[in-house]
Amino acid sequence: MQRSIQGSPEAAAVPEPPWYVRAWRLSDILIVAARIYCGYKAIQLWGRWVSDRGQESRYRRQDLRAARLLHRAALRLEGLLIKAGQFIATRADILPPEWVNTLASLHDRVPPRPLSVIRAVVERELGQPLEAIFDDFAAAPLAAASLAQVHRARTRDGRDCAVKVQYPDIAGLVQADLRNLMLTLRILARLEPDFDFRVIAREILKYIPLELDFLNEARNAETIRRNLAHRADVLIPRVFHDLTTRRVLVMELVEGIKITDVAELKRAGVEPSAVGQQLIEIFTEMILRDGFFHADPHPGNILVQPGPRLVLLDFGLAKDFPPHFRDAMVRLTFAILTSNREAIVAAFHDLGFRTRHPAPETLLTLADLFLGNSVRRNRAYADEELIGEFANELPRALRANPVVEVPADVLLVNRVMGLLSGLGRTLDSRVNMFATLMPYARDLMAAQNGAVK
């Protein structure tokens, strides 16, 4: 199986915008970050030193102001900020509705680039006039997002398709914004040592450039299509390889209902909680059984057809686990499901986690955060009670015995679980996590043990 997350010489040679454009973007990001930070800090200090009366309502008003600030900045700067807003908008499980609702439009309703710009990219990439390639090409896009936009089209031989076209200047902007992000997070870490997100940002540095390589995305789509071919309840569009390049991706046109449009799902006779069940089963198979999974399941990337049948889109971010890592993930899941403390600690060590001291409490707390409490309480997503507990327990455990080494691959799994948790809350998911996960974990453990013998 090919490795899906890796660099490429062409990606490394992306030309960046002029210095004055980079400086303007940096100043814009810093101003937005400062306004958001100062707003929350002022409320915190007022509650601490003056009065905490009305504190909750002040935080809610600041949530709305901050979300609107980020939304305007994302539309202004595009690129990486749009991706950040998309991620925030998926976390309905842990973030206030002011943030989620304000940023939700960033999934697929970003102002599009003109058709003339899109035409130029397609013709340069495919080496022919647009009319020579497509019998019909819609002027208005189906969706416009952070790195590209998608147009409905029909090929000259009559195939209906979706054409994903990368914005011509986006690669350089993203590369510049990644460095700006690291500087902003470095400043935040100095101001608030408990909120140091630079480890996560460094992983983003590895993954984002791969989303700019549509040949990589095409390979990812074909791999997941093969892996899930036995399931009638999931559909992966076919890639038209003869029309696909690094910056243009042409796929079979597949339509459906956006997964978070609960009202439309119900009108179509689809029970949202059944969609939540399918979602967990499909991603459990990809992560634990296949070791190759779609790593960006935000609402703009999942459609639902009657049945229900899920349609997965956008495979720019996918992950291929090494066999030993996938096996350790299976052992960790099985250990958590069976409440085996010794096996939990051993699996974390096998994955590459290291703590400053050998005491197991921090890793056991992480196991609860990862899956344990959701299984014990039979909750398909993190609710306010669980979040409140971890907000108290995790910092205490980390202070007593800090984690000094975290495997990079786990960060993507956590991101996927966070996105699925947010979708689960929106769908009012009723998934029995133990009953759903245990058959996979048990069978995969038996296969591991058989291989050892």
Known catalytic residues?
Answer: 296
Structure tokens at 203: 């992983």
3-state SS, the chain, equals: CCCCCCCCHHHHCCCCCCHHHHHHHHHHHHHHHHHHHHHHHHHHHHHHHCCCCCHHHHHHHHHHHHHHHHHHHHHHHCCHHHHHHHHHHHCCCCCCHHHHHHHHHHHCECCCCCHHHHHHHHHHHHCCCHHHHEEEECCCCCEECCCEEEEEEEECCCCEEEEEEECCCHHHHHHHHHHHHHHHHHHHHHHCCCCCCHHHHHHHHHHHHHHHCHHHHHHHHHHHHHHCCCCCCEECCCECHHHCCCCEEEEECCCCEECCCHHHHHHCCCCHHHHHHHHHHHHHHHHHHHCEEECCCCHHHEEEECCCEEEECCCCCEEECCHHHHHHHHHHHHHHHCCCHHHHHHHHHHHCCEECCCCCHHHHHHHHHHHHHHHHCCCCCCCHHHHHHHHHHHHHHHHHCCEEECCHHHHHHHHHHHHHHHHHHHCCCCCCHHHHHHHHHHHHHHHHHHHHC
The three-point CA angle 412-418-424 to 5° equals 140
